[in-house]
Chain A
Amino acid sequence: QVTLRESGPALVKPTQTLTLTCTFSGFSLSTSGMCVSWIRQPPGKALEWLALIDWDDDKYYSTSLKTRLTISKDTSKNQVVLTMTNMDPVDTATYYCARTNWGTYYFDYWGQGTLVTVSS
């Protein structure tokens, strides 16, 4: 059974750095082709893809946010970590992690999401 769960602070102040952790089970990020992405959704707005890391440690970032994002993985802990620097109130959103695969090209399993509010 595949599960993903996001964790991190519910509230961050402007200019701070956000660190989110995706802890997953039911698959291994060392399996060829496996990937985990981060996707966010501001309240009442659309989904926005942020970053992806694959089994081979290749990393891909949103064009508009890549200067602020870092994605990493700890295969032994089944975790993927996303850091976003210089947080702003417009970054208030529910942040999801989701599994995908280079062979399939779809997000088949999603975490339940974690709401991050940016406010002083």
Chain B
Amino acid sequence: QSVLTQPPSASGTPGQRVTISCSGSSSNIGSNTVNWYQQLPGTAPKLLIYSNNQRPSGVPDRFSGSKSGTSASLAISGLQSEDEADYYCAAWDDSLIWVFGGGTKLTVL
């Protein structure tokens, strides 16, 4: 049972915009920044969004993040087939632990 709550699955057709939610509490998302990771099949997770809405160098601007209160969202616009992956949110918790979401499997139809 993951501390952060994500929908187990999401889908969209090429070109569409898809959003993935991540719900937490006042001790994690409510008081610390949120990060998103993309995990392609058979590979290690890769940092996708940090500090709620910042993209590391090399991440396309089709990916964007936002945070409001104790929830965060990842949006992917102009969906492409190579975006098919698992997506995880994560945040530091004030109880001095890192917490992850349960992951969302994105399918490009």
Binding site for B on A (CB under 8 A): 37, 39, 46-49, 52, 60-63, 96, 104-108, 110-113
Contacts and interface: CB of A to CB of B under 8 A. Distances in A.
B97 A46 contact: no
Contact of B97 (A49, A107, A111): A49
A108 B88 CA distance: 14
B97 A62 contact: yes
Interface of B: 2, 32-33, 35, 37, 43-47, 50-51, 56, 88, 90, 92, 95-103
Given A60-B96, A106-B50, 10 more contacts: A39-B100, A48-B2, A48-B100, A49-B100, A62-B97, A96-B45, A104-B51, A105-B50, A106-B51, A107-B90
Contact of B47 (A39, A48, A106, A111): A106
A104 B44 contact: no
Contacts, number: 60
A46 B89 CA distance: 11
23 contacts: A37-B98, A46-B2, A46-B101, A47-B45, A47-B100, A47-B103, A48-B2, A49-B97, A49-B100, A60-B96, A60-B97, A61-B97, A104-B50, A105-B33, A105-B51, A106-B33, A106-B47, A106-B50, A106-B90, A107-B35, A107-B47, A111-B44, A112-B44
A109 to B, nearest CB: 8
Contacts of A52: 98
B90 A113 contact: no
Contacts of A63: 95, 97
